[in-house]
Structure 1
Amino acid sequence: MVWCEQLVTWCCLALLSVSQSLTVADLTTTTDKISTTATRTTKSSASTKRSIPTDAPMLNYIFDIHNTINKHQHHRDNRWGPHFEGESQNVTAQADATVILDCKISLLQGKTVSWLRRHEDGERMILLTYGQLTYTGDSRYTVEFQYPDNWKLKIRNVNSSDEGQYECQISTHPPMTIVVNLHINAPSVQIVDALGEPLRDKYYEADSTIELLCVVRHMAMQMQYSVVQWLHGNRILNYDTSRGGISVKTDLMEVGANSTLSIARVGPTDSGNYTCVLTTMPDKPATVHVHVLNESLAELHHGTANITTENNVVLIVLFGIIFTHLLMALR
């Protein structure tokens, strides 16, 4: 009995030893598998990161675009500053009109905008505006800011003295400028014929109708300021009702005006100087001398033709006599 109990004890111990050996081996194997799996996972992760450009082209494209935008924005912030939109220009205006000179600026970044005018000698500059303040004593000049970026110089009732070079300036170091050359068309007043040629003399028959056309150009016409007046000598005809038969019609246009004077059933007393003048430019009138004839122009032309023919006959006779005398003298 004792021997049997000892045998059973030895068998149990042997089984326990084998079980422990297997458990350690399994644990070792399992640990090795986990280590191997972790290593493979790490390598796979690293490989995945390196393979993004190939395996995920869209993500790579977006990433590149994002970097490009950031780089461009950063570069632009460092490089870009205030700059003009557009280039230097030439502006032509009519006398007495309101002129607006544009100056569009992007990314002003707290700098100040000024308008200056270059003096006729080309050396000195006259400060007109600084920011939104006007520095010149001429009240016709003002600066107007038009959102978002236009610093406009406004000049009212321009005339020939306003012609010249204007500069819009940004207060950078050195200052940035853009030039605007302003040209003012000189106003003109002329009395013209049917072909548009200036008239100096005009002939009419008695009892006919005088019709004269006065052309005003390069002048901004405003009825409350500029009126075309017709005069016979020193007498204003626009509102003359004493004679009768007088009509003045004036058509205003953007570039000036056309004014027509009509006088019906004229006689010798209607001869003389007729003047067209603007009330805003009394120093630049246009004048034509009108001749009213008692006889018709056809008769006058016929009489002139007869006189010319008679004169030609007399000249031929005289030339013949002189030629005959010369021949006799030579013999």
Structure 2
Amino acid sequence: MRWKILVLWLFVNGINDRSEGGSEHSNPYWEQAFSQPYFDNTTRREVTTTVGQTAHLHCRVGHLGDRAVSWIRKRDLHILTVGILTYTNDQRFQSLHTDGSNEWTLKVTSPQVRDSGIYECQVSTEPKISQAFKLNVVVSKAKIMGNPELYIKSGSDINLTCIVLQTPDPPSFIYWYRGGNVINYSQRGGINVVTEKQTRTSRLLISKALPQDSGNYTCSPSSSDAASVLVHVLHGEQPAAMQHGNSSSTATFWTFNFMLFVLLQITILER
């Protein structure tokens, strides 16, 4: 109850000062109670980026006055920046600030996985006040669905689907390569690529594949590790690798039945 009375008293005195021509003079009681630095909590406190993609941590401080804003790396309490000056030998860290703005931004260029962790925006009040921000640096990579080696019968379609994993933002592009060359639509007809950036997927379809379409196919998104699959387009019978797979399945079937027969015989004998 007392603090409510104090706030009301300060507010009334502030109005009285202005009504008595005090607009040219500040109210010391009002300034002391309400002009201390504070953090604006409307900014994102957790940021996720991919390796190599520049990250920004935005800290907003109101009523800063003549205090300084510093960025501290929490894990080793290393001072990265003070004001707009960089206080570390690692020049990938930089403080950005525009005159008249209440925003102090830590810019991390070419971040690596080791840069993940907590960073503090600290104000030089007494005692100091700080606000924590979390930076996640992940390795984004592509994945082509299915086996890493694919056998296609001549005349069938090559149908490859690529998914980009662990990326906070959709890729700006996804390119397909055969060998070291980008897939060329003008070389032959029947090639179609459908890319959906929001779902982070891309599909490559090559109709009526021929032996000359064999090769190493690579899905390469922006800011992500690429993925590859080796495609064989064959005439005639299936390759030996696939035939071995069928023999293995048959052997597994007979092994299972034999074990079942043994278990039944043991059960009968125990009775």
Interval of TM-score (by shorter of Structure 1 and Structure 2): 0.5 to 0.7
Matches within 5 A, 1:22-33: none
Report the equivalent of 2:85: 133
Report the equivalent of 1:277: 220
Which letter maps to 2:130? Answer: T
Distance, in Å, in 2 between the alignment partners of 1:153 and 1:277 is: 30
The RMSD of aligned alpha carbons is 4.3
In structure 1, the gaps of 5 or more residues are 1-64, 193-197, 320-331
Report the equivalent of 1:31: none
What SS does structure 2 have at the residue aligned with 1:77? helix
* Cα distance change of structure 1 residues 107 and 140 upon mapping to structure 2, 3 Å threshold: closer
Report the equivalent of 1:112: 68
Report the equivalent of 2:135: 182
Q: Does the 8 Å CA contact 2:58/2:106 hold for their aligned counterparts?
A: yes
Distance, in Å, in 2 between the alignment partners of 1:98 and 1:188 is: 17
Report the equivalent of 1:92: 47
* Cα distance change of structure 1 residues 258 and 78 upon mapping to structure 2, 3 Å threshold: same
What SS does structure 2 have at the residue aligned with 1:145? coil
Report the equivalent of 1:288: 229
Return the offset for 1:110. Answer: 1.2
Identity of aligned residues (%): 25
Residue 172 in structure 1 maps to residue 125 in structure 2: yes
* Cα distance change of structure 1 residues 294 and 219 upon mapping to structure 2, 3 Å threshold: farther
Distance, in Å, in 1 between the alignment partners of 2:96 and 2:121 is: 11
From the CA coordinates, give the structure whose radius of gyration is larger: 1
Calculate the TM-score normalised by the size of structure 2: 0.63
* Cα distance change of structure 1 residues 171 and 133 upon mapping to structure 2, 3 Å threshold: same
Moved more, 67-76 or 145-154: 67-76
Return the offset for 1:271. Answer: 4.2
Return the offset for 1:162. Answer: 3.3
1:160 to 96, 99, 113: 113
Higher relative contact order structure (alpha carbons within 8 Å, sequence separation ≥ 6): 2
Greater helix share, structure number: 1
Calculate the TM-score normalised by the size of structure 1: 0.53
Q: Does the 8 Å CA contact 2:71/2:106 hold for their aligned counterparts?
A: yes
Residue 213 in structure 1 maps to residue 161 in structure 2: yes
Q: Does the 8 Å CA contact 1:90/1:183 hold for their aligned counterparts?
A: no
Matches within 5 A, 1:70-89: 70=13, 75-80=29-34, 81-86=36-41
Distance, in Å, in 2 between the alignment partners of 1:294 and 1:139 is: 55
Which letter maps to 2:70? Answer: S
Distance, in Å, in 1 between the alignment partners of 2:152 and 2:53 is: 38
Return the offset for 1:98. Answer: 4.2
Report the equivalent of 1:20: none
Return the offset for 1:168. Answer: 0.8
1:253 to 186, 197, 207: 197
Distance, in Å, in 2 between the alignment partners of 1:116 and 1:133 is: 13
In structure 2, the gaps of 5 or more residues are 1-7, 16-26, 262-271
Residue 230 in structure 1 maps to residue 177 in structure 2: yes
